[in-house]
Structure 1
Amino acid sequence: MSKQSPETWPNDPGLKPISGRWSARSDVTPLQEDATADLVKSADGSDGGDTAGHDEREGDGTAGHDESEGDGTAGHDESESGGAAGRGGEIRQSAADAAAEFGAAADEVDDAAAGLLGVNRTDLRILGLVSAAGAMTAGVLAVRARLSPAATTAAIQRLAAAGHLRRDVDPADRRRAVVRVTAEASAMLDLAYGPIAEAGHRLLTAYSPAELTLIVDFLRVGRRMQLDQAARIRAAAASREERQAGI
């Protein structure tokens, strides 16, 4: 089975192991809600114009009657507009809830995969990064995993002792050492994540190209938002550490 790119492995920022976890679907989007609201407003305006012309033709004798009907129509229009806005809010909340549930379900998969290999989530992330790259130096791995050199060395030692990583000489520079995922660990990663790719692609066949385009756009925008928020949190943590150190 082919290896996924680094961005598609467990806990890599923003994306989960494979696209097959797209499970939530909404037949009505916020854009469709806005279009519906515009149509309602347009219809209200044309109805108001017809009523006004009818009022002028009828004369002053029915002015009071027309005014009361106009007030009733206005109230009805406001009620419809309020209802459309309420439905739009409900759909947006449902979408937000579905996205949160999607992320929670993805975490469940990663927890299960970590249990299969007998590792913690940080070590699972390291295995995913090394497996996707084929081989990595400890320095590059530390940067990709956002770990300190000491923490990366400790993780490599744990994974090597568990039989999940092996040290090797870098064929491009024999002065450097690299780490690789063992055949046994690679087989377990494929067992955990391989079927997700197949199931995901089967799910995607139920969607039209237009729907898939919308889904891809949502996921990419959402990924960018998540990365921005992660950067914000890291900056807050760094600022806090500086204050505590008296810098």
Structure 2
Amino acid sequence: MPVYEHEDAIRVTTRRARIDKVDDSKSQQRVDIRGLKEEKPQKIWRPQDFGYSSHPPKDCDGVMIQMGSRSDRTLYMDGGHEKYRPKNTPEGGTVLFNHSGDIIRVFKKNLDVVHQKLVNIRIGKGYNAGKSSLGNAQGQGADQPDDASNQDQKTISIVLMDGDSITLTYQGSTVAIREDGHIVAQAASQFSGGVAGGRWVVVRGDRVDLGVTDPDGEAPCKVATECGLSDIVYAVVS
């Protein structure tokens, strides 16, 4: 085959395409795309880098490649979407973003995590690694993200929620800082508040110990009030 004919064959098998539909439910992501007029290949493999996966929105532009000039070996390489790419990223910088305006920026002088509604930072199990070929995990619907957090025995979670609160959760205990500055601490078994080397207030399910000298201390006597020995008391500071 002459060289120019070989080059023409390569040109024909490599052309621009646009995404119509994405199937992200299997071990390989498949896309339906539009190429030349009346050309609409379906269930085309979209290769992705290891350690990263995305679900591109409709009308993303990219390149359709037919390996070996065979249509049954077509793959699609994504090129992004003209409406959604964040511009003017500094040299050496990296951004991770979606089509809703949420973004993670890693720049030389700062790291930003920005979401319009909820930021959840967790230590625990993320997804069922090594089991993609088995389909969805047990108990998950076909359209649900691959999430194995319900299998965690111990988790630490920091949740930032717009207009509501910042919440730290660990093993059933939570500390919430509300928008109005109100701090709510709820312990699963025992709450202790105090100053190192000073006095503590210890709250358990059936008693409150005031003025003890360590975070696990117990007071020897009940509180004496104008009503006698009491379990529920209050004080007014004037």
Q: TM-score range by the shorter chain?
A: under 0.3
User: More helix per residue: 1 or 2?
Assistant: 1
TM-score scaled to structure 2, two decimals?
Answer: 0.23
TM-score scaled to structure 1, two decimals?
Answer: 0.22
